[in-house]
Amino acid sequence: MKSKHLFFIGIVFVMCNAFIVTRHDISDEEYINYGKKGFESLAVFEDGNGTLIDKQWVLTARHIADDQKPGSIVTINGTEYKVEKIVLYPQKPTDDLFKKKDLGLIKLNQPVSGVAPVKYIKKSPEIGSILYLAGNGDVGNGKTGPTNKDKKIRAATNTLDSLKDHFISFVFDSPTSGKATKLEGTPGPGDSGGPAYIKENGTLVLAGVSSFEVVENRQQQGRYGVRNYYPNVSLFADWIESTIKGERYYKTIMDGKEIVSIKRADGSYYLGVDGKKAVVDDLIKYGERVIQEYNDIEAKETAWKQRQPDMNDPQMQFAFYLETLMKEAGIKKSLREATISISTEKFTVEGKEMPENLKSKALKKFEELFKQPLGNNQINLRPRNN
């Protein structure tokens, strides 16, 4: 992927970062030699990096994963593998880099041999932690910026100094600042998706994935003072684990709370609300599942009209039927855009009460599809962007 630039009020946001831009006062050979020590799990795409986190799965940046296709080549420890499957983190499309969840998973066509996958953190790292960086992109130093690209793997260190929203971030400090590590380094333009590790009990574990860099002007790329942002892997552990296991992952917002649910391979459900996790034996409330299904559609970035839903699924049948009733009432909004409430007392759309005959049709259809009356339950659906 070529470098992408987004200009805003004199600041440049640069995606497609690569390692390693190094200290000007340290020999490049030291960074090359360091890259030969324990970074075998680095995955190299044609225009990006990633990290082997399971014997057949690589975690990388979403915008790098999105550039791949089945059959694309991934090189790990000198051996080539092919991409079998690409899974992008589910989120609403946005041009705001600070809102993007820039993560993607790549399944390889066969398990990797001779390289141990690295573990990824389940708990946010602490500010002040030493980060271990590795990659094979553009090379240069903090005074010159990137000047060459030889595809050699280099490794460097830096210090985590910020945890904000879903990012970890750090600054490329100059030797004269008093803050630089011995092998201080930073990404430079060229590749993205590379790892930022921390050490737990002496072992490297993945803490972040290279996403973008903030500089004051384009000429400052890879020079002292730039700040880099990496998605905090610990905040996405549920999605990573569920994807690798082949489970269905859903995420939505209801009543101001983030709800994450995973339909496990054994049919049970795993539910998390605002980071607090609980296992539930019963199905998640029907209303939540409808929204989750729509979020899943959105995650695949597939237009609603182009989707071929499973019409054997009662939830989807009922969702389509609600849209039919809304059109019958003259409401032009789609189901995913409207606030809806259904009980035995009322059927309202956007706060407007629907005619009695439409309420009766909705209740009858619910009973027909789910083999039971709605009873004392109430279904509340909210727009997808809530």
Alpha-helical regions (H) of the chain: 28-34, 62-65, 237-244, 286-299, 314-328, 356-370
Q: What is the pLDDT of residue 84?
A: 93
Alpha-carbon distance 18 to 193, whole Å? Answer: 8
Alpha-carbon distance 367 to 375, whole Å? Answer: 10
Structure tokens that stand for 243 in this block: 């994807």
The predicted-structure confidence for 135-165, as pLDDT tens digits, reads as follows 887 777 777 776 677 778 889 999 999 999 9
Nearest CA-CA partner of 71 in 90, 45, 52, 49:
45
Alpha-carbon distance 106 to 63, whole Å? Answer: 12
- 377 — pLDDT class (breaks 50, 70, 90): confident
Q: Does 198 sit behind a cis peptide bond, omega within 30 degrees of 0 on the bond before it?
A: no
Residue at token pair 């962007």: 385
The domain ranges of the chain are 12-238, 247-305, 314-381
Alpha-carbon distance 333 to 339, whole Å? Answer: 10
Alpha-carbon distance 47 to 67, whole Å? Answer: 9
Q: What is the pLDDT of residue 200?
A: 93
Fold of domain 12-238: Thrombin, subunit H (2.40.10)
- 220 — pLDDT class (breaks 50, 70, 90): low
Residue at token pair 């630039």: 5
Alpha-carbon distance 364 to 159, whole Å? Answer: 61
Cα–Cα distance list, 233 to 38, 125, 271, 329 (Å): 20, 10, 19, 46
pTM (whole model) above 0.75? no
Helices 314-328 + 356-370 axis angle, to 10: 170
> Which of 50-54, 107-111, 251-255, 379-383 has the least mean pLDDT?
251-255
204: helix, coil or strand? strand
Nearest CA-CA partner of 62 in 1, 134, 132:
1
Residue 90, Cα to own-chain centre: how many angstroms? 7
Q: Which residue has the higher pLDDT, 210 or 271?
A: 210
